[in-house]
Amino acid sequence: MDLSPALILVTWVSGIAAGGAVVAWWRVVGPGYLWLVGAVVAVIGGLSGAAGAGRIAWAGVAMAVVGALGARSRNVAAPAFALGAAFFAASVWESEAAAIALLLTGMLFLGGITTEMLLGHWFLVDPTLPRWSLIALDAGAAVGLASEVAVVVVSGSLTTSGQDAVYSAVYAALAAFCAVLMLGVWGSLREPRYSGVMAATGLSYLAVLLAFGVVTVGRSLVAGGI
Protein backbone atom coordinates (compact mmCIF):
# COMPACT_ATOMS: atom_id res chain seq x y z
CA MET A 1 0.00 0.00 0.00
CA ASP A 2 1.36 3.40 -0.99
CA LEU A 3 0.66 5.65 2.01
CA SER A 4 0.80 9.33 1.04
CA PRO A 5 -0.96 12.66 1.72
CA ALA A 6 -2.72 12.25 -1.63
CA LEU A 7 -4.21 8.94 -0.52
CA ILE A 8 -5.64 10.41 2.68
CA LEU A 9 -7.01 13.49 0.88
CA VAL A 10 -8.57 11.38 -1.88
CA THR A 11 -10.16 9.03 0.66
CA TRP A 12 -11.66 12.06 2.39
CA VAL A 13 -12.84 13.96 -0.68
CA SER A 14 -14.29 10.92 -2.44
CA GLY A 15 -16.35 10.23 0.68
CA ILE A 16 -17.61 13.82 0.82
CA ALA A 17 -18.54 13.70 -2.87
CA ALA A 18 -20.40 10.41 -2.35
CA GLY A 19 -22.15 11.91 0.68
CA GLY A 20 -23.15 14.93 -1.39
CA ALA A 21 -24.65 12.59 -4.00
CA VAL A 22 -26.71 10.84 -1.32
CA VAL A 23 -27.99 14.10 0.20
CA ALA A 24 -28.78 15.47 -3.26
CA TRP A 25 -30.82 12.36 -4.03
CA TRP A 26 -32.68 12.59 -0.73
CA ARG A 27 -33.71 16.13 -1.70
CA VAL A 28 -33.96 17.24 1.93
CA VAL A 29 -32.10 20.53 1.49
CA GLY A 30 -31.97 23.40 -0.96
CA PRO A 31 -29.29 24.10 -3.57
CA GLY A 32 -27.23 26.25 -1.21
CA TYR A 33 -25.99 23.19 0.67
CA LEU A 34 -24.93 21.48 -2.55
CA TRP A 35 -23.08 24.63 -3.62
CA LEU A 36 -21.17 24.33 -0.34
CA VAL A 37 -20.43 20.64 -0.92
CA GLY A 38 -19.29 21.34 -4.48
CA ALA A 39 -16.91 24.04 -3.27
CA VAL A 40 -15.50 21.84 -0.49
CA VAL A 41 -14.99 18.91 -2.86
CA ALA A 42 -13.38 21.12 -5.50
CA VAL A 43 -10.91 22.61 -3.01
CA ILE A 44 -9.92 19.33 -1.32
CA GLY A 45 -9.89 17.55 -4.67
CA GLY A 46 -7.59 20.21 -6.06
CA LEU A 47 -5.26 19.76 -3.10
CA SER A 48 -5.21 15.99 -3.67
CA GLY A 49 -4.39 16.53 -7.33
CA ALA A 50 -1.57 18.89 -6.43
CA ALA A 51 -0.32 16.32 -3.89
CA GLY A 52 0.09 13.74 -6.63
CA ALA A 53 -3.24 11.97 -6.93
CA GLY A 54 -3.01 12.09 -10.72
CA ARG A 55 -4.82 13.72 -13.58
CA ILE A 56 -8.00 11.73 -13.03
CA ALA A 57 -8.47 13.55 -9.71
CA TRP A 58 -8.98 16.75 -11.70
CA ALA A 59 -11.87 15.05 -13.49
CA GLY A 60 -13.38 14.60 -10.04
CA VAL A 61 -12.97 18.32 -9.40
CA ALA A 62 -14.73 19.06 -12.69
CA MET A 63 -17.66 16.82 -11.71
CA ALA A 64 -17.92 18.62 -8.36
CA VAL A 65 -18.32 21.88 -10.25
CA VAL A 66 -20.99 20.29 -12.48
CA GLY A 67 -22.81 19.02 -9.39
CA ALA A 68 -22.76 22.47 -7.80
CA LEU A 69 -23.99 24.17 -10.98
CA GLY A 70 -26.78 21.61 -11.31
CA ALA A 71 -27.71 21.75 -7.62
CA ARG A 72 -31.33 22.63 -8.35
CA SER A 73 -31.90 19.24 -9.98
CA ARG A 74 -31.13 16.02 -8.15
CA ASN A 75 -31.00 14.25 -11.50
CA VAL A 76 -27.94 16.37 -12.32
CA ALA A 77 -26.32 16.91 -8.92
CA ALA A 78 -26.50 13.37 -7.54
CA PRO A 79 -24.94 11.62 -10.58
CA ALA A 80 -22.31 14.35 -10.93
CA PHE A 81 -21.16 14.05 -7.32
CA ALA A 82 -21.27 10.24 -7.52
CA LEU A 83 -19.16 10.25 -10.68
CA GLY A 84 -16.75 12.68 -9.02
CA ALA A 85 -16.36 10.26 -6.10
CA ALA A 86 -15.60 7.46 -8.57
CA PHE A 87 -12.98 9.58 -10.35
CA PHE A 88 -11.26 10.45 -7.08
CA ALA A 89 -11.24 6.82 -5.94
CA ALA A 90 -9.87 5.68 -9.30
CA SER A 91 -6.99 8.16 -9.00
CA VAL A 92 -5.42 6.16 -6.15
CA TRP A 93 -6.82 2.71 -6.92
CA GLU A 94 -4.48 -0.17 -6.11
CA SER A 95 -4.76 -3.90 -6.78
CA GLU A 96 -4.14 -4.99 -3.18
CA ALA A 97 -7.26 -6.27 -1.44
CA ALA A 98 -6.41 -4.42 1.79
CA ALA A 99 -5.84 -1.15 -0.08
CA ILE A 100 -9.17 -1.47 -1.88
CA ALA A 101 -11.02 -2.34 1.32
CA LEU A 102 -9.50 0.56 3.26
CA LEU A 103 -10.26 3.01 0.47
CA LEU A 104 -13.93 2.02 0.50
CA THR A 105 -14.27 1.90 4.28
CA GLY A 106 -12.44 5.20 4.58
CA MET A 107 -14.80 6.82 2.11
CA LEU A 108 -17.79 5.68 4.18
CA PHE A 109 -16.17 6.58 7.49
CA LEU A 110 -14.61 9.98 6.73
CA GLY A 111 -17.21 10.94 4.13
CA GLY A 112 -20.16 10.05 6.33
CA ILE A 113 -19.08 11.98 9.40
CA THR A 114 -17.89 15.00 7.39
CA THR A 115 -21.13 15.15 5.40
CA GLU A 116 -23.08 14.90 8.66
CA MET A 117 -21.07 17.79 10.09
CA LEU A 118 -21.66 19.96 7.01
CA LEU A 119 -25.37 19.16 6.93
CA GLY A 120 -25.62 19.86 10.65
CA HIS A 121 -24.34 23.37 9.99
CA TRP A 122 -27.09 23.85 7.46
CA PHE A 123 -29.65 23.64 10.26
CA LEU A 124 -28.54 27.20 11.06
CA VAL A 125 -30.04 28.14 7.71
CA ASP A 126 -33.08 25.87 7.83
CA PRO A 127 -33.96 24.38 11.27
CA THR A 128 -36.83 22.41 9.69
CA LEU A 129 -34.51 19.93 7.97
CA PRO A 130 -35.29 16.31 8.90
CA ARG A 131 -33.04 14.85 11.55
CA TRP A 132 -33.27 11.38 10.10
CA SER A 133 -30.82 12.47 7.41
CA LEU A 134 -28.19 13.36 10.03
CA ILE A 135 -28.82 10.13 11.92
CA ALA A 136 -28.46 8.09 8.71
CA LEU A 137 -25.14 9.78 7.88
CA ASP A 138 -23.84 9.22 11.41
CA ALA A 139 -24.89 5.55 11.24
CA GLY A 140 -23.15 5.16 7.88
CA ALA A 141 -19.96 6.64 9.33
CA ALA A 142 -20.18 4.25 12.29
CA VAL A 143 -20.46 1.30 9.90
CA GLY A 144 -17.43 2.67 8.07
CA LEU A 145 -15.46 2.90 11.33
CA ALA A 146 -16.35 -0.66 12.31
CA SER A 147 -15.36 -1.88 8.84
CA GLU A 148 -12.07 0.05 9.03
CA VAL A 149 -11.14 -1.59 12.31
CA ALA A 150 -12.18 -5.01 11.00
CA VAL A 151 -9.90 -4.69 7.96
CA VAL A 152 -6.93 -3.65 10.11
CA VAL A 153 -7.55 -6.49 12.58
CA VAL A 154 -8.00 -9.11 9.85
CA SER A 155 -4.81 -7.94 8.14
CA GLY A 156 -2.89 -8.91 11.28
CA SER A 157 -1.36 -5.45 11.60
CA LEU A 158 -2.18 -4.99 15.29
CA THR A 159 0.32 -6.38 17.79
CA THR A 160 0.72 -6.47 21.56
CA SER A 161 4.49 -6.81 21.65
CA GLY A 162 7.43 -4.75 20.47
CA GLN A 163 7.52 -1.12 19.36
CA ASP A 164 4.46 -1.51 17.13
CA ALA A 165 2.40 -2.33 20.23
CA VAL A 166 2.44 1.39 21.10
CA TYR A 167 1.01 2.35 17.72
CA SER A 168 -1.54 -0.44 17.92
CA ALA A 169 -2.66 0.90 21.30
CA VAL A 170 -2.88 4.43 19.89
CA TYR A 171 -4.96 3.13 16.99
CA ALA A 172 -7.32 1.28 19.32
CA ALA A 173 -7.72 4.36 21.53
CA LEU A 174 -8.43 6.66 18.58
CA ALA A 175 -11.02 4.25 17.19
CA ALA A 176 -12.68 3.85 20.59
CA PHE A 177 -12.88 7.60 21.25
CA CYS A 178 -14.21 8.19 17.75
CA ALA A 179 -16.92 5.59 18.33
CA VAL A 180 -17.89 7.32 21.58
CA LEU A 181 -18.19 10.65 19.77
CA MET A 182 -20.39 9.09 17.09
CA LEU A 183 -22.63 7.66 19.79
CA GLY A 184 -22.71 11.16 21.27
CA VAL A 185 -23.83 12.57 17.91
CA TRP A 186 -26.63 10.02 17.73
CA GLY A 187 -27.69 10.73 21.33
CA SER A 188 -27.66 14.49 20.78
CA LEU A 189 -29.87 14.17 17.72
CA ARG A 190 -32.42 12.38 19.88
CA GLU A 191 -32.78 15.59 21.87
CA PRO A 192 -35.89 17.33 20.44
CA ARG A 193 -34.65 20.87 21.04
CA TYR A 194 -32.51 22.73 18.52
CA SER A 195 -29.61 22.62 20.96
CA GLY A 196 -29.41 18.88 20.26
CA VAL A 197 -28.43 19.53 16.64
CA MET A 198 -25.89 22.13 17.75
CA ALA A 199 -24.32 19.64 20.16
CA ALA A 200 -24.28 16.91 17.50
CA THR A 201 -22.54 19.22 15.04
CA GLY A 202 -19.90 20.13 17.60
CA LEU A 203 -19.26 16.49 18.44
CA SER A 204 -18.99 15.65 14.76
CA TYR A 205 -16.19 18.25 14.46
CA LEU A 206 -14.19 16.29 17.01
CA ALA A 207 -15.12 13.00 15.35
CA VAL A 208 -13.76 14.24 12.00
CA LEU A 209 -10.44 15.17 13.63
CA LEU A 210 -10.13 11.77 15.32
CA ALA A 211 -11.22 10.03 12.13
CA PHE A 212 -8.13 11.37 10.39
CA GLY A 213 -6.02 9.79 13.11
CA VAL A 214 -7.80 6.45 12.77
CA VAL A 215 -7.45 6.45 8.98
CA THR A 216 -3.80 7.55 8.94
CA VAL A 217 -2.52 5.32 11.74
CA GLY A 218 -4.50 2.34 10.49
CA ARG A 219 -3.07 2.61 6.99
CA SER A 220 0.42 3.11 8.38
CA LEU A 221 0.10 -0.10 10.38
CA VAL A 222 -1.17 -2.06 7.38
CA ALA A 223 1.54 -0.63 5.15
CA GLY A 224 4.20 -1.31 7.78
CA GLY A 225 5.16 2.34 7.76
CA ILE A 226 5.53 2.72 11.54
Report pLDDT digits (tens) over 175-202. 999 999 999 999 998 888 888 888 998 9
Among 107, 88, 99, which Cα is nearest to 44's? 88
SS (H, E, C) 24-37: HHHCCCCHHHHHHH
> Environment class of residue 224 by beta-carbon count within 10 Å: exposed (0-12), middle (13-18) or buried (19+)?
exposed
Q: Is the pLDDT of residue 152 over 60?
A: yes
Q: Residue 162 pLDDT more than 80?
A: no
What integer best gives the mean pLDDT of the chain?
Answer: 91
Q: What is the pTM of this model?
A: 0.94
Q: What average pLDDT score do residues 4-30 get?
A: 94
Question: For the segment 200-216, what is each residue's pLDDT rounded down to a tens digit?
Answer: 989 999 999 999 999 99
Best CA proximity match to 132, nearest among 22, 43, 7, 224: 22
Does the 97-226 domain belong in CATH 3.30.420? no
23 to 8, 18, 125, 166, 201: CA distances (angstroms): 23, 9, 16, 39, 17
Angle formed at CA 119 by CA 35 and CA 23, multiple of 5 degrees:
70
Question: CA neighbours within 13 Å on the CB side: how many for 132?
Answer: 3
pLDDT tens string 59-98: 999 999 999 999 999 999 999 999 999 999 999 888 788 8
Residue 84 makes CB contacts below 8 A (sequence gap 6+) with: 14, 17, 41, 45, 59, 60, 61, 62, 63, 64, 66, 67
Binned at pLDDT 50, 70 and 90, residue 1 comes out as low
**What is the rounded average pLDDT of the residues 27-45?**
94
